[in-house]
Structure 1
Amino acid sequence: MKTALITGANKSIGFETARQLLQQGYYVYLGSRDLQKGQQAVSQLQAEGLTQVEPIEIDVNSSDSIKAARDVLGQRTTVLDALVNNAGIHGAIPQTALETEASGFKQVFETNVFGVIDVTHRFMDLLTQSTEPRIVNVTSGLGSLTLHSDPTWKYYQVKPAGYVASKAALNAYTIVLAHDLRNTPFKVNAVDPGYTATDFNGHSGPGTVPDAAARVVKAAVLGPDGPTGQFFSDDNSPETGISPW
């Protein structure tokens, strides 16, 4: 049975990603900053008959918490097949380049970039034990610098400075990590779940959580001939599913 760890999975897209991976036969470690909320999420899945799941307390902003989560997971399994770096924050709004101070940028980067790097490094030893390891970095279409430079783009006017910069940085990290692992079985990709109605945006997005999670899951279960080092976005590029960087 393949295994997956999902950060920020006690609700929304992360929770639905856990549900869909369970439905595909994975054993899921449901990461949550608050263990009680993680247990509540697990209980809901188990009530649906999806029993191969357990909560893992992990705060991606805390190196100590990440290390502790790795120690706990190491007691449960020697192999991790998929890591879904889903935890993320938007930051304070409004968030303009002129008015947002460096501290505002740092706050968003701590979760959206540095947390991802820390988690990835800490669990890499378990991932390397898999025959088909997958890393999925949940990004945003707003991380595309190419599209942000195009006045005809539908989201051209949407530019939360710290969030945009953090997701662009996450995309850059994804490219470099995929390159470093290019001669291995790893598949490392960034996935834009799309503008989805969640707590993250006050339920303003037109997309559904199941559709968003399906995009994430697709990258998590890629076969050996699947792509690596890509920026998947059905929202930005519905024809190809690949977004410009």
Structure 2
Amino acid sequence: MAKKTAAQTSRRAVIDDIRKKQKGAERRRGFAIVGVCATIAVLIVVAAAYRPVKDWWDERKFNDVDLAAIGGPASACGEIQTKPSEGQEHVPTGSQVTYQSSPAVTGNHWNEAGVAPVAMEKKFYSAEERPELEALVHNSEHGYTIVWYDETAAADSAELAELRAIAGKFPGDSNMRYKMKVVPWLESDGEPFPDGQHIAYTHWSAGGEGETDASKQLAVTQYCSEVSGEALKSFMEKYPYLDSPEPTAM
């Protein structure tokens, strides 16, 4: 076998050195890619956790605060308004109902187990998760007080913290006194609230506890410039869940 020349040996060494450097560079690129992916994964986890943690942090100061002490004074809300019910028929799930009220209070609505009415346990909803109006109106028929907030309130972190805190005062899924939901009223839903008003409390009244004459049913609304636990407490005392067309249904 012919011996390798010095030139061949040198060339082989250069090639081996190049390959060694290439492998090293590939390993470094692999480590860099893994590092970037790990960093992105951590950032995703942090971003996902940030909102719940911030919400908890913002709301913690209300833990031992009475409902009436959350938000502004009752004077932030106007006079309670009433008008005749818009109807009470069940319509197929998925069909759209045009409501004359802003926000919707009474009227035709969906009726499907697990969809409409919406389950009681969840109290606060963001725009991304809010149930359809046709489902929420069925909740209203069952005696739920609904606290609506518009997009101006949704953009105010302090206002949202107060709304979440109020929702937290109504725990559980079986005590009917806690029939309450906090939901957004969106631009796509219909007419905006009156000028300067960003919160609305609504209730579907039977016309008095135990009233069975459908002609006496009323849509009850109170608008507020800011959320007021004091006004909400008074509103719910004046219009309890028992004053609704179907008070014993969840």
The TM-score bracket by the shorter chain reads under 0.3
| TM-score normalised to structure 2 length | 0.26
Q: Whose Rg is larger?
A: 2
Instruction: Indicate the structure whose relative CO is greater, using CA pairs within 8 Å and at least 6 residues apart.
Output: 2
TM-score (norm 1): 0.26
